[in-house]
Structure 1
């Protein structure tokens, strides 16, 4: 299991992280937008987004106040890459 797969499948928060990647369908989304889509706490989502970004699974292409996250190049919800 590679590190990215471990972040999604081998940790307690993995299931929510997969749902986050599924919700990032090519449209940049903020934690607040993801909160509404996933019906989850925005602060919890922010914590997961930090982990996903630190492990190269999501990126923020434009670092502005309203910037959203997108999957990193080659990343899918199943982390097959």
Structure 2
């Protein structure tokens, strides 16, 4: 599989956005849940942060599929799909 600098740039931007969404949601949930769940706010905010990371990764994967659709089929390793 051919890679160049753009592939690394796109993947680092995507992971950075997912991580920022996770941290922002976890921090906001922690602030909001400190009064509502004083004993369990850390656990609840961690679970919400993990959920937001998963959801943001899923949304980004759907966006990537819309931008660069892979057609179903059998490909050899020298096909254009793998060596763009």
Range into which the TM-score falls when normalised by the shorter chain: under 0.3
Q: Which has the larger radius of gyration?
A: 2
Structure with the largest fraction of helix: 2
Give the TM-score of the pair, scaled to structure 1: 0.26
Structure with the largest fraction of strand: 1
Instruction: Pick 1 or 2: higher relative contact order, CA cutoff 8 A, min separation 6.
Output: 2
Give the TM-score of the pair, scaled to structure 2: 0.26
